[in-house]
Amino acid sequence: MATYSRNLPAELVTMILKLVPEKHTLVLRCLSRVWNIAFACGPYFSALHAATLRRAFVRRKVLRNAPIGHWLCCWPQNMKDAAADIAKRARVCHFHAETCSSGNPLLMPASFGLTKFLSSIIIKNLQSPLPASFYTLLKLKFLDLDGSRLNGPLSPDIGNFKNLQYLSLDSCGLEGPIPGELGKCVNIMDLKLGNNQFSGCVPDIFGKFANIKWLDLSNNNLSGTLDETPSLFTRMNLTTLLLDHNLFTGSIPESIRNLTSLFSLSLAHNKFTGPIPATLSSITFIKHIVLNNNLLCGPIPASSFT
């Protein structure tokens, strides 16, 4: 099945439809002079189809310099190089790839960094490390690689993404310390690094994140005290703070009262000691507080739960 806008050149539609097997779906549309292309390539999408489609895009001047808005595709093994090449030449700015029904692994080609116009990437279950060229995507604002097998330390080159606003690397097999270079991503709003094996102290970089609203460092092996990251408790826009299932020690700092926009707080399954700070009751919007499985003592501030 295929649908396309009347504004799309008939020659281009005919050319692409000849390349797509009957069982696959192709959707082409044109909105406000920005091309939007989305197509799903099933397990039988052959290398020949990929190569032919790549050549077709390259040869058509109508697409060579067109600002392609969106490209979403199931990314089989035999499509990976063609995907990067088409994205590079067609000025793709949004890329979304997920595992195909064929079970072929998602592998990122070394040439992926050539797609300089990318501002948004969602790749689920990537089965390869990120190539060095990936960190040259300086326009990147949205990066979601949840469930990927990145395995190993998070590269300090993550600091290259100074325009990044959303970063989610949940369940990616990352380990070692959280690099201080992450603090260079000064526009970050959502930072999700949960369900990895990060270890060591959390770097005191949060004073640089003026707009951060969501911080998830849960289910790691992070240690040290929260007093070692004082800048974390200066972020008045922070609404969600998830630090549960780590190895944090020491007391919960009184300065937590500075997080005036906090809605959800989880510090469970750590080794926090001392009393629950009464200053929690001064946080107006807080609705969820999870502190179980620590070494806390003393009374529970009743006003914190009313």
Q: What is the pLDDT along the chain (306 residues), one digit of tens a residue?
A: 344 333 444 444 444 444 444 444 333 333 323 333 434 343 333 444 444 544 544 444 333 333 333 343 434 444 445 555 555 555 556 676 665 444 555 666 666 655 677 788 888 888 888 888 889 889 899 999 999 999 999 999 999 999 999 999 999 999 999 999 999 999 999 999 999 999 999 999 998 999 999 999 999 999 999 999 999 999 989 999 999 999 999 999 999 999 999 999 999 999 999 999 988 888 888 999 999 999 999 888 765 554
Give dist(CA 126, CA 145) in Å, integer. 7
Whole-Å CA distances, 89 to 56, 93, 120, 223, 300: 11, 11, 17, 46, 60
- The model's pTM is 0.75
Partner residues linked to 28 by β-bridges? 4, 37
Q: Which helix (H) or strand (E) holds 54?
A: helix 47-59
pLDDT at 146: 93
pLDDT at 42: 39
pLDDT at 98: 61
Burial readout 117-137 (b: 16 or more C-beta within 10 A, e: otherwise): ebbbbbbeebeeebeebbbeb
Whole-Å CA distances, 283 to 189, 234, 261, 301: 20, 13, 7, 12
